[in-house]
Amino acid sequence: MARRCAICGKGSTRGHRVSHSNVHTKRTWHPNLQKLRVWVDNKPRRVYVCTACLRAGKVRRAL
């Protein structure tokens, strides 16, 4: 699955999971991506869009 929003380019970020004993292990955060049919260059295409772009109205959905 593509881990990047087709509209804003938001992708995975990396950091550390920190336990109670302060041991750092690697982890990743993934954006909430939804596979939608949207208009791209006046054609309906199926792309991954983050929910922040959906709520902001940056996407014209093809129904």
If one compares 5 and 1, the residue with the highest pLDDT of the two is 5
CA atoms of 36 and 30, how far apart (whole Å): 18
Q: Where are the domains of the chain?
A: 1-63
Q: Are 53 and 59 in contact (CB under 8 A)?
A: yes
**Per-residue pLDDT at 1:** 63
CA atoms of 39 and 22, how far apart (whole Å): 47
Task: Give the chain's mean pLDDT.
Answer: 94
What's the distance, CA 39 to chain centroid? 18
What's the pLDDT band for 63 if we cut at 50, 70, 90?
Answer: confident
User: How much is the pTM?
Assistant: 0.79
Q: What is the pLDDT of residues 17-40, one digit of tens each?
A: 999 999 999 999 999 999 999 998
What's the distance, CA 13 to chain centroid? 11
CATH of the structural domain 1-63, one choice from 3.30.565.10, 3.40.50.720, 2.30.170.40, 3.30.70.260:
2.30.170.40
**Per-residue pLDDT at 30:** 96
